[in-house]
Structure 1
Amino acid sequence: MKKTMVIALLGMMAAGGAQARVIEQACLSSDRASGNRPLCNCIQRVADATLTRRDQKTAAKFFRDPHRAQEVRQSDRQSDAVFWQRYRAFGATAENYCG
């Protein structure tokens, strides 16, 4: 059921047009992905379905500077807390869908 919902979301986003693909580019350039294009593409599709363009730009920075993610997670700012909830949902969805 969960996977079906994710696939439906991804289909809707694909029909909505291409975005800047900032998550995919950050993923491809990171040491962790080792240039795994199918994985990075999958993560980008999930990002397109779950994150705003602004959220994607913020999240892409985490690939270059993982410490920045920690700073956002521990921030006292309400906007960072709300972003972090969306980011965690994105991460869980990407993990479930992209395996």
Structure 2
Amino acid sequence: MKRILCAAMIAAFVAPLAAPAFAGPIERACLSSPRKEKSWPLCSCIGRVANQTLSRSDQRKAAKFFKDPQKAQDTRQSDNAANERFWQRYVDFGATAAAVCG
């Protein structure tokens, strides 16, 4: 019984520390963002929305916007059809994240 209780206590302390290791590209980018408004709960929520609305490839592309906002602007203004389709998915993701994560 002591072993089970000890294992449960260790798991309770280790799980929150390990969570960022399992974070997706958007969540990791959010957590490493220089913005002071970031928080683990907010970034986690945004990451969950990204997992539901964007492909892994789209997430990797969008994660680069956190470090280089000019990439977002360049993508938005691009005449490339693939970028236009991506941008619409990204806008939809942003609207959903804003509604869900507040």
The interval holding the TM-score normalised by the smaller chain is 0.7 to 0.9
Please list every run of at least 4 consecutive aligned residues from structure 1 whose deviation after the TM superposition is greater than 3 angstroms: none
Higher RCO structure, 1 or 2 (CA under 8 Å, sep 6+): 1
Structure 1 alignment gaps of length 5 or more: 1-18
Give the alignment partner of residue 51 of structure 2, picking from 48, 53, 75: 48
Structure 1 position 68 matched with structure 2 position 71: yes
Counterpart-to-counterpart distance in 2, 1:45 and 1:33 = 21
Residue 33 of structure 1: how far off its partner (Å)? 5.1
Counterpart-to-counterpart distance in 2, 1:63 and 1:30 = 6
RMSD over aligned CA atoms reads 1.4
Larger Rg: 2
Identical pairs, percent: 58
Structure 2 alignment gaps of length 5 or more: 1-21
* TM-score normalised according to structure 2 size: 0.75
Residue 20 of structure 1: how far off its partner (Å)? 5.7
C-alpha contact 1:33 1:40 (8 A) present in aligned 2: no
Structure 1 position 78 matched with structure 2 position 81: yes
